[in-house]
Amino acid sequence: MLLIQDLSQDPAMGEVISEEKTLSVMDLVFNGGTGSVVIITVLFLMLGVALYIYFERLLAVNAASKIDKNFMNQIRDHVTSGKLEAAKILCAQTDSPVARLTEKGISRIGKPLDDINTAIENAGTLEVYKLEKNVSVLATVAGAAPMIGFLGTVIGMILAFHEMASSGGQAEMGSLASGIYTAMTTTVAGLIVGIIAYMGYNHLVNRTDKVVHKMEANAVEFLDLLNEPL
């Protein structure tokens, strides 16, 4: 809420009376005219899309990062004892990228090590693609939202100067309010949406990188297991 102080003169007492008026966020939005309402509506829709993608991907990444610490130990025991079907069943029962990569490697046991490594890498590429699904939309929103806000700024200033030109340079401040509101509110809204989307994008990228590193570490551990002498 913004506080605007209104000073008025009491004719009877000859004293200045201070009155405070409140200006809500909704007032800022709707006082900017049609241009401000349209642009801010678009920005809020973009914010909704960005928040949905962020939380949906965050849940997916968190689920992908969870894996039993004894998983690889169990895989090691099954593989060294020749129980490949048991190892595949364990991977199928474990819903994680690491388990799916391991299952792909187990299904290639008996083939050259390079073939196993290639199969794991290809499966890993697909898993990374799944983790990064729609994350690029956040980057797009982070870049586009401030630009849309600045577009509103330009439109607002054009409206203000047009009003001044139409009145021969004698326009009152009240008649310029719509353009000024459009210029200021759209800029602020665009920056807010852009900052939120940018922070969400970077957070998801960092969390995804951690999952990818975990996948790589387990893939190396599995390949080392195949290189161990029986």
pLDDT bin (cut points 50, 70, 90) of residue 133 is confident
Q: How far is CA 24 from CA 4, 30, 142, in A?
A: 11, 10, 26
**Per-residue pLDDT tens for 99-108?**
888 888 888 8
Amino acid at 162: H
Burial 154-181 (b: 16+ CB within 10 A, else e): ebbeebbeebeeeeeeebeeeebebbbb
**Per-residue pLDDT tens digits for 15-74:** 444 444 454 555 555 555 566 778 888 999 999 999 999 999 999 998 888 877 788 888
The phi, psi pair for 197, rounded to 5°, reads -65, -40
Q: Dump pLDDT digits (tens) for 69-89.
A: 788 888 888 888 888 888 888
State pTM to two decimals: 0.75
pLDDT of 93 above 70: yes
For the chain, the domains span 32-59+69-226
DSSP 67: -
